[in-house]
Chains A and B, each alone.
Chain A
C-alpha cells in the first residue's frame, strides 16, 4: 500500500545533540512538507520541497535543516540551535499540481529533549 512512513515514532534528544527524523513516501508525490505541532498551537510549517534538490523555508525554519536528494525522501535534522525542540513532528506530501485536494500525512515522530 502507498503511504508516508515516518521513523522513529519516538525520539529522545540530549541537550546539544543533532537528531534526524526520517520521512519516506511511495506515493510518487513531488511536494513534501514538514510541520511541527505543539499543544494548542495547531501545525506550523518548518520546511517544504516542491521538487528534488529544491526546498524552501517555512514559518519556523530556524534550528532545522532538510535535504531532498530523492523524490521519495525528505529527512529533517533538528540541530542544537533549536532551543525548544520538544514537539510532535509531521511529514506530509501532496499530488503534483493538486494540493487543492490536501495533504497525505505520515504517522508522526514525537521528539522529547532529555
Chain B
C-alpha cells in the first residue's frame, strides 16, 4: 500500500463547478497535510495546509481533514480554467518538525469552459 494515495485522474469539471480532490494516507501518526498545485513544467506551489480535523477555508479553496478515516480532501469552488493543473497531496509524518514530506502521485484537474 502506498503511503499517500490519490486518484491520478484526469478529473474534468466544467467552469464554475466544484472540483473535489481526494487523498488517503497510511500513517495514523501523520500530523500535517498539504495541498500543492503544479502547472506543467513548473515547480509545486503551496495552496493550503491543515492539521486539525474539520474544514479550513481560504478563498475558493477548502481543505477537509478526517484523521479517523485517514482522509484529506480539497474542494475548489467556482472552478476556473486557470485551475487546470496537477494537485499534489503531501503528508508530514508524526514527530518530525523538520520532516520529510511524503507526496501522492498527484491528480490532474482539467477545467473546461
A residues at B contact (CB < 8 Å): 30-31, 33, 35, 40-45, 48, 50, 58, 90, 94, 96-103, 105-108, 110
Contacts and interface: CB of A to CB of B under 8 A. Distances in A.
A100 B100 contact: no
Interface residues of B, number: 29
A97 B96 CA distance: 9
Interface of B: 4, 6, 8, 31-32, 34, 36, 41-46, 49, 51, 88, 90, 92, 96-106
Contacts of B96: 99
Contacts, number: 68
Contacts of B45: 105
Given A100-B32, A105-B44, A40 B97 contact: no
13 contacts: A33-B100, A33-B101, A42-B105, A42-B106, A43-B90, A44-B103, A50-B98, A58-B100, A97-B98, A100-B31, A103-B46, A108-B43, A110-B41
Contacts of A102: 32, 34, 36, 46, 49, 90, 101
A99 B44 contact: no
A103 B96 CA distance: 14
A35 B103 CA distance: 10
Nearest to A98: B97
Nearest to B8: A40
